[in-house]
Amino acid sequence: MKILFIHQNFPGQFVHLAADLAKDKRNKVLALSIHKLAPPPGVTVRHYTTLRPSNPQTHPLLLDEEAKILRAEACAAAALQLKREGFVPDVIMAHPGWGEALFIKDVFPTSRLVIYCEYYYAIEGQDVGFDPEVPSLTFAQRCRLRLKNTTNLLSMEIADAAISPTQWQKAPHPAWAQRRSLSSTMALTPSG
């Protein structure tokens, strides 16, 4: 089986899964990453870089989104190079939090995409608004926090399945996402 991991800090949360999959010599395990961290044995890592930083003239509420799109663009370019070299993964495991997974199904439309739903931002009740000693968010801060979910939502839209490490991390995701993706199961076997 051909498996592609996408994580800007690979191996990150995929360290044990990638290592276990790479132990099976029938698997070919690759990863795409920005940072140059040591991969588990048997995993080949390709690095990518963005073409430019976010533009300081971009609307302040869109700076984070622009950075995620720039990473998605760079990751897609690296994935296109893998495709030109003949590598088409059966399964892609991606952390969507930094944007890299946004265009991956456009590169590999037949590959199964599993996203790692680590965190979904809430305006109240998680890490915001629970401590009476901390002032409430300003309107701009609330807007910025709401937009942080954009990439997660778009990634859920294209994913074949999603995993969340704990019930606490799964619970804040929208009900439609929990029904559609987070509660699904998927065999990690080639479709063909």
pTM as predicted: 0.88
Check residue 132 and give its pLDDT. 77
SS (H, E, C) 36-83: CCCCCCCEEEEECCCCCCCCCCCCHHHHHHHHHHHHHHHHHHHHHHHH
- In angstroms, the CA 4 to CA 44 distance is 10
% of the chain exceeding 70 in pLDDT: 93
pLDDT tens-place string over residues 136-192: 888 988 888 889 899 999 999 899 988 888 888 888 888 887 776 554 444 444 444
- In angstroms, the CA 120 to CA 155 distance is 12
- In angstroms, the CA 49 to CA 108 distance is 20
Q: Are 158 and 113 in contact (CB under 8 A)?
A: yes
Q: How far is CA 161 from the centre of its chain?
A: 12
CATH 3.40.50.2000 for domain 2-182 = yes
Q: Are 176 and 157 in contact (CB under 8 A)?
A: no
149 residue type, one letter? N
In which band, very low, low, confident or very high, does the pLDDT at 32 lie, cut at 50, 70 and 90?
very high
**Of 151, 127, 152, 155, residue with least CA distance to 141:** 127
pLDDT tens-place string over residues 97-110: 999 999 999 999 99
Rounded to the nearest integer, the mean pLDDT of the chain is: 88
